[in-house]
Amino acid sequence: MEYHLGCIECKKTFHDDSLYTCPSCNGLLEVAVDVGNADFKLDGKEIKVWKYRSLLPIRIEPITLFEGGTPLYSIRSDKETKLFVKHEGLNPSGSFKDRGMTVGITKAVELGKTRVVCASTGNTSASMAMYSARAGLKAYVFLPSGKVALGKLAQAIMHGAKVIAVRGNFDTALRIVREICSRNDIYLLNSVNPFRLEGQKTIAFEIVDQLGYCPDAIYVPVGNAGNISAIFKGFKELKEAGYIDFIPRMIGVQAEGANPIFRAFSEGKNRITPVGNPETIATAIRIGSPVNARKALKAIYSSDGKVIQVSDDEIVRAQKILAKQGIGVEPASASSFAGFMKDYEEFESAVCIATGNLLKDPEEAVRVSEKPIEVEPDLEIIEKLL
Ligand code: F0G
């Protein structure tokens, strides 16, 4: 597999896989793969991350838990657009992070690393803990204290990661983790790592593989802004390789209380101003200073996309509508559908990415739902309730 790393800012190229950012200008790096190598058919068969191996920059046998191949559900709504939800919550650890992690952890092993680390709002840590356990690596996760949903914390702990709860938000935790990696031989698995995003670009491949055509728009919840960048890259490669004729409009959705990308887009800027104290019920995207903002804004502008912000109430409403169609997602995941409904634009077809499973945040689900009715075990009383 031929590939190299390229800086998105100064355009210098590198052949050192252990880099996270550009050694010359500190810009974000992107993996440039040769799309001429693509050898898969988008025929709707055997869909999973490693089906697309010919475009994944890995040289050894992958560490895999059989991620990807998540269902694409059609959604009933009163709108004209043919709408689908891609349920990434049905990946092995319950979120889309597994796509990036199978590639990221495999890269760690390929580079001979024995220790891996991430800062996380929860899902990255759950996924990294799971895949490191599979690979036999030591995992360290840094979480914003008190702000991580219970299911995610349970996963990180149970899969044997050392969990450090930082008194501060995600942005602070990530700053510390990046500092740690610059001084120690511990492999960084946040989405600043360009190999993680390579795994996540397979969402784009799968959508076209499943639909048999390219949809007009993709709605993506945006936190650290890696996933929307990755999905855009996936569509770009499909177009370059001749599988599709156009790239869908990339539509980012942020929570009102954690909206730096929305603000930058609204002002026509291509750099963000960090939001100091991000706050939202959707803790997964409670991020004020997204590291991949530059990549995400490029993806949004160059695909003629946009950014929508949604309130916590709109997120919960969307979560409940999806739940009533049999699709159980955590709050951040519902933001893509909330964005679709809030700022409706008529597309022939669109896909909302649902990023994580309902069970990730059981406490929120219980809090916003009707409470169970407690009764005596008396048939007469119970039948009156039905
Ligand atoms: N949805 C969920 C459920 C997430 O966990 C995340 C990110 C996102 C959306 C946003 O994706 O960061 O690529 O823009 N969670 C990270 C984490 C930050 O640590 O688990 P993004």
Domain boundaries of the chain, sorted by first residue? 72-95+196-368, 96-192
Q: What is the pLDDT of residue 159?
A: 98
Query: Distance from the CA of 274 to the center of ligand 1, in angstroms?
Result: 17
Q: Please, are residues 309 and 259 in contact by the beta-carbon 8 Å criterion?
A: yes
Reading the block at residue 80, the tokens are: 């004209």
Residue nearest to ligand 1 atom 10, measured at CA: 223
- Amino acid, res. 375: V
User: Phi, psi at residue 69, to the nearest 5°?
Assistant: 65, 30
Say which DSSP state 10 is in: T
**Per this entry, what is the length of the chain?**
386
72-95+196-368 and 96-192 agree in CATH topology:
yes
Identify each DSSP E strand in 61-170 by its residue range. Answer: 72-74, 82-87, 115-119, 138-144, 162-166
CATH number of 72-95+196-368: 3.40.50.1100
Residue nearest to ligand 1 atom 6, measured at CA: 284
Q: What is the pLDDT of residue 218?
A: 98
Cβ of residue 122 lying under 6 Å from some atom of ligand 1: yes
Q: Mark out the alpha helices in 201-330 (DSSP H runs).
A: 202-211, 226-240, 260-266, 293-302, 312-323
Pocket test for ligand 1, best of 85, 90, 91, 95 (most atoms within 8 A of CB): 95
Q: Please, are residues 341 and 259 in contact by the beta-carbon 8 Å criterion?
A: no
Q: What is the pLDDT of residue 77?
A: 85
Cβ of residue 222 lying under 6 Å from some atom of ligand 1: yes
Query: Distance from the CA of 279 to the center of ligand 1, in angstroms?
Result: 15
What's the CA gap between 53 and 245, in Å, rounded?
22
Cβ of residue 108 lying under 6 Å from some atom of ligand 1: no
Pocket test for ligand 1, best of 307, 355, 359, 360 (most atoms within 8 A of CB): 355
What's the CA gap between 215 and 270, in Å, rounded?
26
Please name which of 262, 347, 335, 339 lies closest in space to residue 297, comparing C-alpha atoms: 262
Query: Distance from the CA of 151 to the center of ligand 1, in angstroms?
Result: 15
- The tens digit of pLDDT for each residue in 33-52 reads 999 999 999 999 999 999 99
- What predicted TM-score, i.e. pTM, was given to this entire model? 0.98
Query: Distance from the CA of 191 to the center of ligand 1, in angstroms?
Result: 9
What's the CA gap between 356 and 40, in Å, rounded?
27
Q: Which residues of the chain have pLDDT under 50?
A: none
CATH number of 96-192: 3.40.50.1100
